[in-house]
Amino acid sequence: MSEASKRLTLRRLAIDTYRENVAYMHRDCPLYRTEGFQALAKLEVRDGHKQILAVLNVVDDDSIVGVEEIALSEQAFAQMSLPEGTLVSIGHAEPPESMEAVRRKLRGERLSAEDYQAITRDIADNRYSKIEMAAFVVTSGQTGLDRDEILYLTEAMAKTGKQVKWEEPLVADKHCIGGIPGNRTSMIVVPIVAAHGLLIPKTSSRAITSPAGTADTMEVLANVEIGPKPMRHIVHAHRGCIVWGGTANLAPVDDILIAVERPLGMDSLGQMVASILSKKLSAGSTHLIVDIPVGPTSKVRHMREALRLRKLFEYVGDRIGIHVEVVITDGRQPIGRGIGPVLEARDVMRVLENSPEAPTDLREKSLRLAGRVIEFDPDVRGGQGYAIARDILDSGRALQKMNEIIDHQGRHSLAPVGSLSFEVKSPRGGVVTEIDNLHLARVARLAGAPMDKGAGVDLSRKLGEPVDKGDVLYRVYAEFPPDLHFAKEQCERETGYRIGKADEIPDHTFGL
C-alpha cells in the first residue's frame, strides 16, 4: 500500500496505560488488515522528526476511534506532543535498539555500562512494551547481575530522573530493606539525627505489599505529599524531614521496574541494591546506613545472604560516591507492638515521648541506628554515637524536633484505631518461641491496613515472653465488618505464634 494511505488522524484517548504506550486503531481501518499487524504488534507513529513506539489495541467503537484515526493513550499522546487532528504516518516498528542488549542478556551474556544506559533511557522514554520490560526484569533476576552490572544499572537508573543537590558535604540517610512489620525506626532516627545537627532529608515510600510504609505512618501525624521546593524549606529550617518520595521523580525507571517485579514476586539481590542505591544517589545522599533484618520470616533468611548483600552495597556504594554502612539486625519478629499506620505512629510517639509504654525494642534499635548515623559526623568519636542519640532522645530534644517537623509539614489531627476488634488468645501456656512476620502483615492487611489507617494488629506478647493458656497474644483492629471477618478467618487458621519452651527460641547471633 502506498505511503500516503498509511497516514491517519491523531486523536487523544484519556486512558492511562502506565508506562506502556498504547495506540488504538479501528478494526475497519484500512491500515489494520493491509499492513497485517499481529496481536501485540508494535507500531511506529511519526510525523517529521517526532516518532514514538506504541502497542496496538483494536477497537470496534467509532466513538473511541474512527476508521481514519489513530488514538493514543495519555502518555503516548503527551510524548508525541502534537495537536489532535494532525496527520501522522503509521508503520511497523522495529523493537527499541537496546532490546538487542536484552537479547544478549537472555543468552546469558554480561552487559556493559553503555548497554544499561541505553536500556534505561529507552524504558524512561516509553519505548518498551510491558513484555519487553518483563523480559529485561526476568532475565536480570534470573541470569543474575554481577557486581559491576549492578553498578552500571544503579548509575543508569539514577541518570533517568532528577538529581537533588544539597550543597552540603554530608547528607545522611538510612534505609531498611523491609519485611519487618512495625519497623518504623526512621521516624525516630530522623529527629534524633536532625537534632544533633546532621542533614537528614528523608524521603520514604508508601506500603506496597506491607501493612504500612514510613510515608503511610508519618501521614497519620502530618502531611507527607510535599513538593521539592517546600521540602527544601523544611530541611533548611530543621535539618530533616520525613516526606513521601513519590513526587520527586527520582530514578523513575526504578519505579517502573519495581512495578513489573512486584506482580512476579521477584526480589533478586542485585535488583534490590540497584533500586535502593539509585534512589539514594538521585536524592543526593552522601552517607547511608542500610538496615538488613535477618530472620526465618524476614526478606533475608540467612546470615550468608545478608553478608553477600552487604558486600554488594559496599562495592556499589564506594563506586558511586556514597559512604554505605550496612547493619545486620534481628528480624525474627515485628519491631514495636503496633502494626498498621495509626498503631505504629502511636509506638513512635511513645518512644519520642519517653513514655513508660514505649516498646523497648523499637527504642533500642532506633538509638543504635541513630548512633551509627551520628558517627558519620567527623567530630564524633567512633563508638560515641549511641550515647549521643540516647541523650537527645532522653532530654526531649528528639520529640521537640519531631514536633517542629510535623508542624512545618502540616500537622494532622490524630486518627483513632479501628472501631471493631477481636483478640487472638494463646491455646496453651509456655513461652513465645516464634512470631511469623508474614502472617501478622497479612492479617493487618486483611483488616484494612494501610488504606484504613486505624486498622492493624497490636501485639501483647513478644519473643521469649511467658504466656498462660487463654492469654491475649494480639488484638486485631478494623473499620468495617467484612475486613474484620477476613482477618478473623485468617487467624482461626493459624495464630502466627508458636508457644513452647524458652530454649526453643532460635538463636539470635546477629547483633548490632
Catalytic residues: 267
Question: CA-CA distances (angstroms) from residue 80 to 3, 49, 158, 335?
Answer: 20, 10, 25, 49
| Interface with a second copy: number of residues (CB under 8 A) | 61
Indicate the residue among 36 and 511 with the shorter CB distance to a second copy: 36
**Tally of CA atoms within 13 A in the half-sphere of 34 that contains its CB:** 11
CB 19 to a second copy: min, Å: 8
Q: Which stretch binds a second copy (CB under 8 A): 58-66, 76-84, 279-287, 420-428?
A: 58-66
CB 76 within 8 A of CB 126: yes
How far is Cα 156 from Cα 278, in angstroms, rounded to an integer?
A: 8
The CB-of-486 to a second copy minimum distance in angstroms stands at 10
Query: Mask of contacts with a second copy, 15-44, x by CB under 8 A?
Result: xxxxx----x--x------xxx-xxx-x--
Measured from the CB atom, is 103 or 508 closer to a second copy?
103
Look at the alpha carbons of 74, 75, 77, 82 in this order and tell me if their dihedral is positive or negative. Answer: positive
Q: Alpha carbon of 139 to those of 55, 123, 263, 265: distances in Å? A: 22, 16, 16, 14
Stretch that binds a second copy, among 100-108, 297-305, 350-358, 493-501 (CB under 8 A): 100-108
Q: Closest CB to a second copy among 259 and 505?
A: 259
Site for a second copy in 431-470 (CB under 8 A): 450-452
Who contacts 226 (Cβ-Cβ below 8 Å, separation ≥6)? 234, 241, 243, 244, 247, 409
How far apart CA 228 and CA 79 sit, in angstroms, is: 24
| 16 burial level (CB within 10 Å; 0-12, 13-18, 19+) | exposed
Regarding 83 and contact with a second copy (CB under 8 A), the answer is no
Out of 44, 47, 58, 232, point to the residue binding a second copy (CB under 8 A): 58
Residue 64 touches a second copy, criterion: CB under 8 A: yes
Is 48 one of the binding residues for a second copy (CB under 8 A)?
A: no
- Least distance in angstroms from the C-beta of 103 to a second copy: 5
C-alpha cell at 309: 548483600
Q: What character string, x for contact with a second copy (CB under 8 A) and - otherwise, covers 159-198? A: ----------------------------------------
d(CA 149, CA 464): 43
Interaction with a second copy in 192-251: which residues (CB under 8 A)? 206, 208
13 counts as binding a second copy under rule CB under 8 A: yes
| CB closer to a second copy, 388 vs 455 | 455
Contact partners, residue 434, CB within 8 Å, separation at least 6: 296, 332, 463, 497, 498, 505, 506
The total of other beta-carbon atoms located within 10 Å of residue 134's CB is: 17
The nearest distance, CB 100 to a second copy, in angstroms, is: 9
- Contact flag: residue 67 with a second copy (CB under 8 A): no
**Residue 329 is a binding residue for a second copy (CB under 8 A):** no
CB of 275 closer than 8 Å to CB of 137: no
Nearer to a second copy, 15 or 320 (CB): 15
State the minimum distance, in angstroms, from the CB of residue 186 to a second copy: 21
Among left, alpha and beta (phi > 0; psi -120 to 50; other), residue 347 is alpha
Interface residue with a second copy, options 2, 81, 413, 509 (CB under 8 A)? 2
Chain-centre distance of CA 218, in angstroms? 15
Cβ(98)–Cβ(119) under 8 Å? yes
- Match 517542629 to its residue by C-alpha cell: 404
259 forms part of the interface with a second copy (CB under 8 A): yes
Alpha-carbon gap, residue 420 to 452, rounded angstroms: 12
Taking only Cα atoms into account, the Rg of the chain, rounded to an integer number of angstroms, comes to 26
Is 419 near a second copy (CB under 8 A)?
no
* Of residues 129 and 333, the one with the C-beta less far from a second copy: 129
* Least distance between a second copy and beta carbon 244 (Å): 13
103 is a contact residue toward a second copy (CB under 8 A):
yes
Residue 493 C-beta: closest distance to a second copy, Å? 16
- Cα distance between residue 172 and residue 139, in whole Å: 34
C-alpha 316, offset from chain centre:
20
Phi, psi dihedrals of residue 431, rounded to the nearest 5°: -125, 145
**Considering the complex, what minimum distance in angstroms separates the CB of residue 452 from a second copy?**
7
Do the strands 200-204 and 240-244 form a parallel or antiparallel pair, or are they unpaired? parallel
Match 510524548 to its residue by C-alpha cell: 79
Q: Which is nearer to a second copy, 206 or 475 (CB)?
A: 206
Which residue number, 103 or 469, has a Cβ lying nearer to a second copy?
103
Residue with cell 497479612: 442
Binding mask 473-512 for a second copy (x = CB under 8 A): ------xxxx------------------------------
Instruction: Quote the CA–CA distance of 297 and 440 in Å, as a whole number.
Output: 11
From the list 259-267, 299-307, 315-323, 335-343, the region that binds a second copy by CB under 8 A is 259-267
**DSSP 8-state code for residue 176:** E
Q: Which is nearer to a second copy, 94 or 423 (CB)?
A: 94
Residue numbers at the binding site for a second copy (CB under 8 A): 1-3, 13-19, 24, 27, 34-36, 38-40, 42, 57-61, 63-64, 74, 95, 99, 102-103, 106, 108, 129-135, 138-139, 141-143, 206, 208, 259-260, 262-266, 450-452, 479-482
